[in-house]
A = this chain, B = another copy of it.
Amino acid sequence: MILSSILAFAACSAPQVKPLDRNPLQSPDGTLELRADVLDGVPMYSLKHGQSDVILPSRLGYDLVGDIDLKDGFKLDDVSYSSFDETWTPVWGEEDHIRNRYNEMLLKLSREDGVRMNIRFRLYNDGLGFRYEFPMENKLTYFKVADELTEFALAGDHTAWWISGDYDTQEYNYYKSRLSEIRGINGADRPYNASQSYIGPTAVQTALQMKTDEGLYINLHEARVLDYSTTSLLLDDKKMVFRTALTPDAQGIKARLQAPCVSPWRTVQVCEKATDVLASRLILNLNDPCVLEDVSWIHPVKYMGVWWEMITGKTHWSYTSDFPSVKLGETDYSKAKPHGRHGANNENVRRYIDFAAANGFDALLIEGWNEGWEDWFGCQKEFVFDFITPYPDFDLPALNEYAHSKGMRLIMHHESSSSTVNYERWMEQAYTLMNQYGYDAVKSGYVGDIIPFGEHHYSQPLITHYHRAVVEAAKHHIMVNAHEAVRPTGLCRTWPNMIGNESAMGNEFRMDINPGHTCILPFTRLQGGPMDFTPGIFEQDMSITAPGETGKMRHTIGNQLGLYVTFYSPLQMAADLPENYARFMDAFQFIKDVAVDWDKSLYLEAEPGEYIVTARHPKLSTLNAGRLSGTSGAYDFVYAGGRPHDVWYVGGVCGENAHETTFKLDFLKPGVSYEATLYADAPDADYETNPQAYTITHSTVTSADVLTVRMARSGGFGLSLREK
């Protein structure tokens, strides 16, 4: 049935259905084979894994605004091949060396009307990247994309883990279904988000993780999205063909291009094992090398925040109830009556600083520190914040000085309310203020509909904005963690001050997060770069955290601990309240001890949505890099007794079903004894009935040992292994 559909589709929209038989390109290990050609004027490509079709012959090209399109009429002028093999060192990451090895094929196409378009393919052992390139000498100089016509013709009705296509948010739960079932599930009546734009019943977002009936893992994504819009994927579910669905700008243009230029890389990751997906560096490798000469100011960060108490409703971002509307520069806060529930007040911030410093954290985020939170939400208010004026009860210089005196930094918060026009106006002053007081990291936010009016979170002008925010921050030696911005596509390789992003449903969604969510994100969202998921919520019962609130989150404490190892991020939060941690200090010890930057990572066991078990070895050189003075918890853990110990951390998370994982410790140094501390779900733990039940066990292990750990439903574990 599938084949006949493909045939029918090919007959109408592409010139031929027979396999492409020219211009083969093999992956370095020979497992993958790409073919590409121009048939009847149309550029086409296909991809095989061994004898299995991954991508059936699929068309390439563009529909442009105006008289010219880039659909057909091409001839193939030249095909050239090359190989590349390089090992590079990331500033931070899951490992200290990354091998970038591929075989490349460049197709040079031209048309009688003077149009020239090249297509560059890079074939890795773990997948394909290809992009369009428009040389300077070209009939087209400035041109507008009505649609990118890149197709991915799949060879079956694969299982997919997908979220609904949307031009403005990715903060959705995933569905697992056959491709053919997407249409029946994917409706416009999705959970509310402050800004969302439904695309259609068969539109899904990248990265899209799929699995064939034969067990092959196929992942569609993109890399290096710059000067271009971000794509969703639109499925022809009769033919099982995905097509790129770029995000339109305010005038409906999908991309505005100026030759010479290149498109983002379209990627097809192909792995035989789920753990290989997690180990893949395809997206990073397709990005440009780091452009920053001095990266000494970039460091990993483990932080706490005056944040969860606002998320839960215990306190507020705002300061007063006096103002039905605020006009910054006119509204006089000094005369306002505080409503008494402002979270970011001096006393409360000092309390957090005391707790975080005492537990070896690098930094403290404080949201709601600046004027404007009384009416920031949902008004599409252009001048919504100035990013430089603190509330009367937030003594910015004094609090920074207090934090610094304890060896910690404060993390700045810039909520743009999606008024990027305004944020750009204030950015230089805002970054300068940060420099003045020693902030070196900012969490930025893009909640709500975008200003410029009519733009989307993922349209080209916004891609340019997010990038600009990172570039300008780099000039100020500031690290950026952007929330509600576009999903990352590996740009952190080039700009390693881009230390975090949200761009998916994180812990802040509390009761709405499905079990198994955290077993999907590493296959999808995290392929493009680290996520500030804000793990570490120990108190699942909202009525305890924020009296008067209701609802319970759906994970165990073991699950939250497992996230610190499962989710790679150079920026990791301990998101819960100090008073909640105080009730579980023995479990909190794992969060204190765990590192956030690694020289080696091993993916021990994984299946999307079901479970992930990961082992990581800390990078010693950055263990204490986030601290101004004193030591971090991880540093103390590694340097216990004043000498370095070999240390590994293992973490596991699992989904709706409990899972028992068994793994060898053969990654440990042979013949050396390690003290193992396991923070596991208790035997009776369960995310619904008993989420806070955990056991902490100490044992001595060697590389010859094999461990078995049971994870409860939506559970997990953390394990530290320290050389004795």
Q: Which chain B residue lies CB-closest to A380?
A: B256
B-chain residues with CB within 8 Å of residue A380 when the two chains form the complex: 142, 256
Expressed in whole angstroms, the Cα–Cα distance for A421 and B455 within the complex equals 13
B324–A141 touching, CB < 8 Å: yes
0/1 interface trace, chain A 115-148, chain B, CB 8 Å (1 if under): 0000000000000000000001110011000000
A428 at the interface (CB under 8 A from B): yes
Q: Which chain B residue lies CB-closest to A248?
A: B453
A251 at the interface (CB under 8 A from B): yes
Expressed in whole angstroms, the Cα–Cα distance for A341 and B69 within the complex equals 36
A664 at the interface (CB under 8 A from B): no
B-chain residues with CB within 8 Å of residue A324 when the two chains form the complex: 136-138, 141, 259
A451 to chain B, nearest CB (A): 8
A312 at the interface (CB under 8 A from B): no
A452–B325 touching, CB < 8 Å: no
B-chain residues with CB within 8 Å of residue A138 when the two chains form the complex: 324
A183 at the interface (CB under 8 A from B): no
A325–B249 touching, CB < 8 Å: no
A381 at the interface (CB under 8 A from B): yes
A382–B325 touching, CB < 8 Å: no
A454 at the interface (CB under 8 A from B): yes
Q: Which of B137, B381, B461 contacts A452 (CB 8 A)?
A: B461
A258–B381 touching, CB < 8 Å: yes
A258–B142 touching, CB < 8 Å: no
Q: Which of B259, B325, B379, B452 contacts A136 (CB 8 A)?
A: B325
Q: Which of B137, B325, B379, B452 contacts A250 (CB 8 A)?
A: B452
A375 at the interface (CB under 8 A from B): yes
A429 to chain B, nearest CB (A): 9
B464–A382 touching, CB < 8 Å: yes
Expressed in whole angstroms, the Cα–Cα distance for A375 and B141 within the complex equals 10
A698 at the interface (CB under 8 A from B): no
A250–B461 touching, CB < 8 Å: no
0/1 interface trace, chain A 471-499, chain B, CB 8 Å (1 if under): 00000000000000000000000000000
A190 at the interface (CB under 8 A from B): no
Q: Which of B425, B453, B454, B455 contacts A468 (CB 8 A)?
A: B425
A99 at the interface (CB under 8 A from B): no
Those of A440-463 within 8 Å (CB) of chain B:
451-455, 461
A253 at the interface (CB under 8 A from B): yes
Q: Which chain B residue lies CB-closest to A136?
A: B324
Expressed in whole angstroms, the Cα–Cα distance for A363 and B22 within the complex equals 68
B249–A453 touching, CB < 8 Å: yes
A356 to chain B, nearest CB (A): 36
- Given A259-B325, A325-B258, A461-B382, residue A251 in contact with residue B425 (CB < 8 A): no
B454–A379 touching, CB < 8 Å: no
A424 at the interface (CB under 8 A from B): yes
B325–A141 touching, CB < 8 Å: yes
A351 at the interface (CB under 8 A from B): no
- Given A258-B379, A324-B141, A381-B142, residue A253 in contact with residue B453 (CB < 8 A): yes
A24 to chain B, nearest CB (A): 35
Expressed in whole angstroms, the Cα–Cα distance for A282 and B136 within the complex equals 55
B-chain residues with CB within 8 Å of residue A421 when the two chains form the complex: 421, 424, 452, 461
Expressed in whole angstroms, the Cα–Cα distance for A144 and B195 within the complex equals 18
A327 at the interface (CB under 8 A from B): yes
Expressed in whole angstroms, the Cα–Cα distance for A251 and B252 within the complex equals 12
0/1 interface trace, chain A 243-274, chain B, CB 8 Å (1 if under): 00000011101001011100000000000000
Q: Which chain B residue lies CB-closest to A382?
A: B464
B-chain residues with CB within 8 Å of residue A260 when the two chains form the complex: 325
Q: Which of A259, A451, A452, A464 has the most CB of B within 10 A?
A: A452
Expressed in whole angstroms, the Cα–Cα distance for A379 and B142 within the complex equals 6
Q: Which of B250, B382, B424, B451 contacts A454 (CB 8 A)?
A: B250
Expressed in whole angstroms, the Cα–Cα distance for A249 and B327 within the complex equals 22
Q: Which chain B residue lies CB-closest to A379?
A: B142
B-chain residues with CB within 8 Å of residue A142 when the two chains form the complex: 325, 375, 379-381
Expressed in whole angstroms, the Cα–Cα distance for A258 and B421 within the complex equals 18
B468–A461 touching, CB < 8 Å: no
Expressed in whole angstroms, the Cα–Cα distance for A126 and B258 within the complex equals 54
Q: Which chain B residue lies CB-closest to A325?
A: B141
A693 to chain B, nearest CB (A): 48
B-chain residues with CB within 8 Å of residue A136 when the two chains form the complex: 324-325
Expressed in whole angstroms, the Cα–Cα distance for A136 and B322 within the complex equals 11
B-chain residues with CB within 8 Å of residue A464 when the two chains form the complex: 382
A323 to chain B, nearest CB (A): 8
Expressed in whole angstroms, the Cα–Cα distance for A95 and B663 within the complex equals 90
Expressed in whole angstroms, the Cα–Cα distance for A141 and B453 within the complex equals 19
B-chain residues with CB within 8 Å of residue A137 when the two chains form the complex: 324
B-chain residues with CB within 8 Å of residue A425 when the two chains form the complex: 424, 468
B-chain residues with CB within 8 Å of residue A382 when the two chains form the complex: 256, 461, 464
0/1 interface trace, chain A 265-304, chain B, CB 8 Å (1 if under): 0000000000000000000000000000000000000000
Expressed in whole angstroms, the Cα–Cα distance for A375 and B250 within the complex equals 23
B-chain residues with CB within 8 Å of residue A256 when the two chains form the complex: 380, 382
B-chain residues with CB within 8 Å of residue A253 when the two chains form the complex: 453
0/1 interface trace, chain A 223-259, chain B, CB 8 Å (1 if under): 0000000000000000000000000011101001011
A106 to chain B, nearest CB (A): 21
Q: Which of A141, A250, A455 has the most CB of B within 10 A?
A: A250
Expressed in whole angstroms, the Cα–Cα distance for A418 and B259 within the complex equals 21
Expressed in whole angstroms, the Cα–Cα distance for A142 and B324 within the complex equals 10
B-chain residues with CB within 8 Å of residue A452 when the two chains form the complex: 250, 421, 452-455, 461
B428–A250 touching, CB < 8 Å: no
A258–B428 touching, CB < 8 Å: no
A379 to chain B, nearest CB (A): 4
A-B CB proximity, top 10 nearest: A452-B452, A250-B454, A142-B379, A250-B250, A250-B453, A251-B453, A141-B325, A251-B454, A249-B453, A141-B324
Provide a sorted-by-A list of 22 A–B residue pairs whose CB atoms are within 8 angstroms: A136-B324, A136-B325, A138-B324, A142-B375, A142-B379, A142-B380, A249-B454, A251-B453, A256-B380, A258-B379, A259-B324, A382-B461, A382-B464, A421-B461, A424-B424, A424-B425, A428-B428, A451-B461, A452-B452, A452-B454, A453-B461, A454-B454
Q: Apart from A141-B325, A251-B453, A258-B381, what 18 extra A-B contacts exist at CB < 8 Å?
A: A136-B324, A141-B324, A141-B375, A141-B379, A142-B375, A142-B380, A249-B453, A249-B454, A250-B250, A250-B453, A258-B325, A259-B325, A382-B464, A421-B421, A421-B452, A424-B424, A424-B425, A451-B461
Q: List A residues at the B interface (Cβ < 8 Å).
A: 136-138, 141-142, 249-251, 253, 256, 258-260, 324-325, 327, 375, 379-382, 421, 424-425, 428, 451-455, 461, 464, 468
